[in-house]
Every structure is written in structure tokens, then in C-alpha cells.
Amino acid sequence: MRLILLGPPGAGKGTQAQRLVDKHGIVQLSTGDMLRAAAAAGTPVGRKAKAIMDRGELVPDDVMIEIISERLDRPDTSNGFILDGFPRTVAQAEALDKLLEYRGTTIDAILEITVDEKVLRDRIEGRAKETGGTRGDDKSTATRLEVYRRQTAPVADYYRKKGMLKQVDGMGSVEDVAALIDAHLRALAEA
């Protein structure tokens, strides 16, 4: 199974992705995690990315497309994957279409987790407190939400126009949201 999880920062993408990984035996391709690992390792890309992430802005498309292209070529993706945090711009979505077409593969489901903005702010600020600020970018909540509205929300429209998008209400508990996602995936499998 190949999935894309969309949704603003704090919507619970990471939590749901991890659960789907365990349930379906697929790999989670979190571009945020990849960038944080590169930053921790102190690679040139990682160092540049860290400054951008700390400001709450987006790493350039060409860098992200290269990272995801290399990641898709690793053999552990052959059983399926869940993209978490990519694509984040329409240019990335278009590039992903080409990458998948070149590999002769398609996406099974694109799920957008929707949450009210006030709730998102509280969640992101709560996470910043819990982690003692280890995720430097949690400090830049306002920028991250603004970047989401401006650059990433159009990605949902891109897939909606193609008739591929399923919105999932992310306001409930982790279990509620999981149940909605599972119901949709079951319906797709039975269709």
C-alpha cells in the first residue's frame, strides 16, 4: 500500500503514520525526520536545512525532490510506504507524479487530516513545551502555519482536482482519527 498523508503541522500525521506502518508493514517516509537526521549528522544539506527549519520555512523543492527520489529507490519501499511531510508544494506534487510514473507505480490513497487552527496552535505549543524545545521549529508556530496555508494547502487542491483526495476529520482522539482512516482504506480495498 502506498499512501500520502497531508495536513497542517500538529494535525497528528506522524502519529497516524506510525500506526499505519505497524498495521500494514510499510515504511514511513517522513521528510522532516530525514532532514532532522541530516542536521544531527552535520551534513552540508543538514546544516543548511536546520537554519530553514528553525525559521519554520520550507527547504527548497529541488533538495526535497532529490532526497525523496533517492529514498524511493531503497528496497524497503517495495512493500509500500507512507509519505509524511511530502509533497509540501505543488511543484513537489508534480515532481512526485513524474517520479512515480518513471517507476511505473501509483499512490493508493491521499488522506488529508483537517484540524481547526486554534487547536493546532495549542498542540504545537504543547509539543514545544513537552520536548523542552528540542524541535527548534516548534518555536515558529505562526510561520509554519502561514507557510502551510500559502504553500501546502494548494497541494490538497491539486489532488482534490484529480479526484484523489479524502479528507479525514482530525479533531477527535487519536483512536477516532485512526478509525476514520481505517474505514476509508477498507472501503478502497473493497471497491
Question: How far is the C-alpha of 120 from the C-alpha of 42, rounded, in Å?
Answer: 30
Q: Is 144 in the site for ligand AMP (CB under 6 A)?
A: yes
Q: Are 152 and 88 in contact (CB under 8 A)?
A: yes
Active-site choice (135, 139, 160, 166)? 135
Q: Is 47 a catalytic residue?
A: no
**Closer to ligand AMP at the Cβ: 28 or 181?**
28
Q: 144 catalytic, yes or no?
A: yes
Going by C-alpha positions, the residue among 146, 23, 18 that lies closest to residue 84 is: 18
Tell which one of 7, 8, 12, 32 touches ligand AMP (CB under 6 A): 32
Q: From the DSSP assignment, how many helices (H) and strands (E) are in the chain?
A: 9, 5
Nearer to ligand AMP, 73 or 146 (CB): 146
> Considering only residues 48-87, where is the footprint of ligand AMP by CB under 6 A?
52-53, 56-59, 64, 85-86
DSSP letter (8 states) at residue 151: I
Q: Is 127 a catalytic residue?
A: yes
Cell of 99: 517520479
Task: Write the CB contacts of 76 (distance below 8 Å, at least 6 apart in sequence).
Answer: 27
Which residues are the active-site residues?
A: 13, 88, 127, 135, 144
Q: Which residues bind ligand AMP (CB under 6 A)?
A: 9, 31-32, 35, 52-53, 56-59, 64, 85-86, 88, 92, 137, 144
